[in-house]
């Protein structure tokens, strides 16, 4: 018993974040079952997530050719649209992915159990018929086959209640978002620092109003992407997204320059592309899932709302930080806003590549927890954290190289280029921090730890918002990036802290139980030394 307790203690220490991050680092690029499963999910997800920012970057390039005012105006509008969308997107997609992965894993376990039972019953029927010789063997075989079919689904499509719920919720949220942005475009832009006398107001309002028409398609398509992620199928969303973004890139110059629609053309091209993505995903999903629930009681609205509310609180906190940063940049003028828009697009495009690892971790962990395969869960968490750190360091090097030459693609304005140059160190240095923060989010979502994700982000947001006001007032444009760097560092720290506290609590409970049951003084001494080690480790990490 005592040896088991000490062994468990050592294994638990090995699951702490710092140990987990550097555990079996030699296997980080190993192509084993875990590595292959992670890559099969992460790579298509990363590409799909990167395509939309890349399309936005191309939009920015085209709009930058019109003028600096239009570039700044669209930058504000995109910031507003994206931040309002995130309020609904992240809770919807994250909850959908976890719930669908759990239900799919449980359904597979149920089917395996049914198949096993069918084989046993079929064998028993055949044996009984053969022994009694009441009917010919051929008839017995047919009866066994009939029995087997009765235990199997008559439809190849899966019945996943969370998938149906996600589509209903996504459609409703999309309609609400569209109406909100269409009728509130001007007040929101005024709040963002674009006042009525600003030359940015007209193009910004045109772009935001038109792009809002695509909100239902955006929410619906992302709900379906969450379903596919739960199935660990990230290739289908990738193909659909690539087709839609390709259409956006083709339509941009046609609407903007040939038809002379300006920023309105850019918005219209984006709306068309989003509806195209939704149609492709819906067509594929109908082939795999029975979306018509037998009754309203089968839908998961209560579960969606309770967990979604937690993530809604989290997303509002995140939105406040990023939106405030964009607002503070806009208040410093069109030059500062244009530079901030270019840097933000690159910052998000590179950082979101790590979100592919986060999605892989979430989907695998949710399935592993549903199957109670905790060893696979720990191995997956360790591997995605290590890959995230490697990815972040690689992106830092790439960003430094790219941003030395890329800014001139977006604009030729000397003042804008100067501000972009000042932002390069912050965009580059934060890449490893961003990667770890995103991966920790995926780990927490995979464990359905939505409550901590919400509460910790509220605390992070309060500190970050304070830093934004202080740093922007004292250091101007650079102060905004200093505060954003602090914000991402706190997010990563929150992920480390949660995993550290969970393991430490389990170790302390186990030590308490062991001390009560042990009678040998030498073992008491051993446990006291172990407690001292844990306490010292806790002080060091804190």
DSSP-assigned letters across all residues of 53-115: HHHHHHHHHHHHHH-HHHHHHHHHHHHHHHHHHHHHHHHHHHHHHHHHHHHHHHHHHHHHHHH
With a CB cutoff of 8 Å and minimum separation 6, the contacts of 102 are 366, 367, 369, 370
pTM: 0.73
Judge contact between 191 and 327, C-beta under 8 A.
yes
**Token pair for 355:** 């979100």
Comparing CA positions, the residue from 365, 392, 390, 391 lying closest to residue 377 is 365
CB 245 within 8 A of CB 55: yes
| Residues counted in the chain | 542
Convert 401-470 into a string of H (helix), E (strand) and C (coil). HHCCCCHHHHCCCHHHHHHHHHHHHHHHHCHHHHHHHHHHHHHHHHCCCHHHHHHHHHHHHHHHHHHHHH
DSSP letter assigned to residue 234? -
Angle of the 161-191 helix axis to the 201-212 helix axis, nearest 10: 170
At residue 158, the 3 state secondary structure works out as strand
How far, in Å, CA of 203 to CA of 205, rounded?
Answer: 5
Per-residue pLDDT at 237: 95
Instruction: Give the pLDDT score at 112.
Output: 62
Return phi, psi of residue 449, to 5°: -90, 60
The DSSP secondary structure of 256-295, one letter per residue, reads: IIIS--THHHHHHHHHHHHHHHHHHHHHHHHHHB--S-SS
pLDDT score for 33: 82
Segment (H or E) for 309: helix 301-331
- Are 243 and 50 in contact by the 8 Å Cβ rule? The answer is no
pLDDT of residue 145: 39
* Sequential pLDDT tens for the chain (542 residues): 445 544 544 454 444 555 556 566 666 677 778 888 999 999 998 888 777 767 777 877 888 888 888 888 888 898 889 878 878 888 889 999 988 988 888 877 776 665 555 555 555 555 455 545 444 444 433 344 333 333 344 457 778 888 888 999 999 999 999 999 999 999 999 988 888 888 999 999 999 999 999 999 999 999 999 999 999 999 999 999 999 999 999 999 999 999 999 999 999 999 999 999 999 999 999 998 888 765 666 677 787 888 888 888 998 898 889 889 988 998 888 888 888 888 887 787 767 778 889 999 999 988 888 888 888 888 888 889 889 999 999 988 888 877 777 667 666 778 888 888 888 888 889 999 999 999 999 888 888 888 888 999 999 999 999 999 999 999 989 999 999 999 999 999 998 887 665 555 555 555 555 555 554 545 445 555 455 545 544 444 44
By three-state DSSP, how is residue 213 classified?
Answer: coil
> Which residues on adjacent β-strands are paired with residue 158?
289
For the chain, the domains span 2-114+154-541, 115-151
Whole-angstrom distance, CA of residue 34 vs CA of residue 324: 40
Q: Give the 3-state secondary structure of residue 205.
A: helix
What pLDDT is stored for residue 276 in this prediction? Answer: 97
């Amino acid at each position: 018993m005592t040896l088991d307790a000490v062994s468990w203690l050592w294994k638990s220490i090995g699951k702490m974040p710092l140990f987990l991050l550097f555990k079996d680092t030699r296997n980080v690029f190993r192509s084993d079952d875990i590595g292959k499963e992670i890559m099969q999910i992460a790579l298509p997800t990363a590409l799909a997530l990167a395509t939309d920012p890349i399309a936005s970057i191309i939009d920015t390039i085209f709009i930058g050719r019109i003028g600096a005012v239009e570039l700044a105006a669209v930058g504000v509008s995109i910031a507003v649209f994206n931040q309002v969308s995130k309020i609904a997107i992240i809770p919807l997609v994250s909850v959908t992915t976890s719930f669908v992965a759990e239900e799919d894993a449980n359904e597979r376990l149920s089917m395996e159990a049914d198949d096993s039972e069918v084989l046993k019953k079929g064998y028993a029927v055949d044996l009984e018929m053969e022994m009694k010789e009441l009917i010919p063997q051929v008839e017995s075989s047919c009866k066994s086959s009939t029995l087997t079919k009765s235990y199997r689904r008559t439809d190849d499509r899966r019945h996943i209640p969370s998938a149906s719920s996600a589509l209903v919720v996504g459609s409703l949220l999309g309609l609400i978002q569209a109406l909100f942005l269409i009728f509130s475009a001007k007040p929101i832009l005024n709040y963002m620092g674009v006042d009525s006398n600003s030359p940015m107001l007209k193009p910004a309002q045109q772009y935001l109003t038109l792009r809002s028409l695509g909100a239902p398609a955006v929410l619906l398509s992302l709900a379906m992407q969450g379903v596919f992620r739960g199935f660990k199928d990230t290739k289908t969303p990738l193909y659909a997204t690539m087709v839609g973004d390709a259409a956006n890139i083709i339509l941009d110059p046609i609407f903007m320059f040939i038809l002379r629609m300006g920023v309105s053309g850019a918005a219209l091209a984006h709306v068309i592309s989003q509806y195209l993505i939704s149609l492709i995903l819906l067509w594929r999903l109908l082939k795999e899932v029975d979306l018509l629930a037998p009754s309203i009681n089968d839908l998961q609205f209560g579960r969606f709302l309770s967990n979604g509310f937690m993530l809604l609180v989290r997303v509002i906190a995140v939105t406040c930080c990023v939106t405030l940063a964009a607002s503070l940049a806009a208040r410093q003028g069109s030059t500062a806003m244009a530079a901030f828009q270019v840097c933000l697009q690159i910052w998000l495009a590179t950082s979101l590549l790590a979100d592919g690892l986060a999605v892989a971790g979430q989907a695998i962990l949710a399935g592993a927890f549903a199957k109670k395969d905790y060893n696979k869960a720990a191995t997956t968490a360790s591997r995605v954290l290590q890959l995230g750190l490697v990815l972040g360091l690689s992106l830092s090097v790439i960003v430094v190289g790219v941003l030395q030459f890329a800014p001139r693609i977006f604009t030729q304005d000397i003042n804008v280029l100067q501000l972009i140059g000042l932002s390069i160190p912050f965009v580059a240095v934060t890449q490893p921090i961003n990667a770890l923060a995103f991966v920790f989010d995926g780990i927490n979502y995979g464990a359905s730890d939505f409550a901590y994700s919400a509460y910790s982000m509220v605390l992070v947001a309060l500190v970050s918002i304070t830093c934004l006001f202080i740093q922007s007032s004292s250091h101007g444009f650079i102060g905004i990036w200093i505060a954003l760097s602090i914000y991402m560092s706190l997010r990563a720290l929150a992920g480390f802290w949660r995993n550290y506290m969970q393991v430490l609590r389990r170790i302390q409970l186990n030590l308490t139980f062991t001390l009560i049951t042990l009678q040998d003084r030498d073992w008491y001494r051993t446990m006291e030394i172990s407690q001292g080690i844990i306490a010292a480790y806790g002080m060091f990490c804190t």
